[in-house]
Structure 1
């Protein structure tokens, strides 16, 4: 694989004091079609027990993946779901969503999960919201001869010439997300040539003979095969792919639109109760 650039996640807090590591790309270019990758990884309850009380969104998609621990999701559409280790959940917020994500206590396993934001194209930002999760059918998986495992969270993937469809389809920007886990010193190859943007986020272990360990994000050239080789500590990566939307964005907190006027309208609509309430 050819690495175009790399960056390191930075520590920050969100929600009610939740400690996270963040990669942000609200310039609308560096991660396009993605906007943000938040990783929550801790065995200390005080890092995450405040959770994310009710808050709004407009103009984005949120994709939540839990590796261990869990959150209870609730929204104004009437969804109330326990999202636990091995589950994914996706909201295409469109013109407006109010939701909360509160932790489910897991004294044995702690918490490890991600929330990923995708930008929505201008033509879709004011459509009705949508919700999907993997609770009924689970997450499809592929395993190769070296016991490397690909968990197809969203979109379409090809690993070692085997094709698999992810649990969630229809993400903005043809988004595709996979969790790839490799034993120490093993390898696997992904064909990502169908995508215009490919990002690799290291969440466990590291890439063999590189400085790229936990918390690094790599942008790689999609026209080359993505060869992943695990260090002696093994390797776990989120691979995020898609087609750049290439639109100007305006960002304010939980709202991502195309102009400042649209942002002001989003704030006004929320304050006037047009997004609805969690019942």
Structure 2
């Protein structure tokens, strides 16, 4: 087994999207090869409805898949195909935009006004850029949760982990999407397929991730370091951890425990031509999409 090195640790940055939704972006609109096949990751979390209630009005997508995971509050959604619905706490929606779709997402807080969720964009390979759009809406009750002997809890949203398989299937990037909670002080080694790009996003508590490239600085190994883990050396809320290659990661939770997403997928390794919510392979394809948006031919008839 080989431990994945930590290539980078960085905080998500505040930004605004939609009609004025305040959120934090962990990555997006940068180098698309960095976390190929993933393009963007947003953490939309707020206690003030004025900072999210205007939502994400009608907008297009083509050439990608969007994955929305709601932790608290609700998201009402509708699209140009006539689909409507509501995502509640713990629910997931995996939308394959394919050849093109217009949709809107309008968040609503819980009884206390709190709203929290994530959206991840995954690229589609050239062979599937113009596939027919489809949805997979998954309720919280359908997502398997594993509880290990040490109290570690893992929700398996996509992919297979510890003998359980998530309910979302048929995704081009063949991803693994896990929601992992560690009790205070728990150290855990978790497997990841060697051939996948991987990142973690820490959103509750604090944790340290072992770095194989700098073993002398690994504070996880108390028996080696001869000291307690220093919380100052741990990552905290809204932190992205980008990993190198290997087949496992090691993480230790701090004194308040830790909760993070662990996401990995098979790289597509194709050219990317990107403009907002439209991601194609060439500039010509991008220009075609923009022309179709203007002349009303963006949405393709169902076959």
The question of a shared fold, defined as TM-score above 0.5 by the shorter chain, is answered with yes
Q: Is the 8 A contact 1:65 1:115 kept in 2?
A: yes
Higher Cα Rg, which structure = 2
- The reply to whether residue 111 of structure 1 matches residue 115 of structure 2 is yes
Bigger drift between 35-44 and 200-209 goes to 200-209
- Which residue does the alignment assign to 2:296? 273
**Could you tell me how far apart the structure 1 residues matched to 2:268 and 2:275 are?**
19
1:105–1:193 distance in 2 versus 1, CA, 3 Å: closer
Secondary structure of 1:174's counterpart equals coil
Q: Given the alignment, which residue of 15, 33, 40 partners 1:12?
A: 15
- 1:213 is aligned to 2:236: yes
List 4+ stretches of structure 1 deviating above 4 A: none
Using a 3 Å threshold, how does the CA distance of structure 1 residues 202 and 105 change in structure 2: closer, same or farther? Answer: closer
Q: CA RMSD in A?
A: 1.8
**Contact (CA 8 Å) 1:72, 1:81: kept in 2 or not?**
yes
Q: Give matches, 1:31-180, under 5 Å.
A: 31-108=35-112, 110-135=114-139, 138-157=142-161, 162-180=162-180
Aligned position for 1:257:
280
Give the superposition deviation at 1:145. 1.1
TM-score normalised per structure 1: 0.92
Q: Is the 8 A contact 1:58 1:125 kept in 2?
A: yes
Structure 2 stretches lacking a partner, 5+ long: 209-228
CA shift, 1:25, in A, is 5.3
Question: Whose strand proportion is higher, 1 or 2?
Answer: 1
Contact 1:25 1:34 in 2 (8 A): no
Deviates more, 1:199-208 or 1:134-143: 134-143
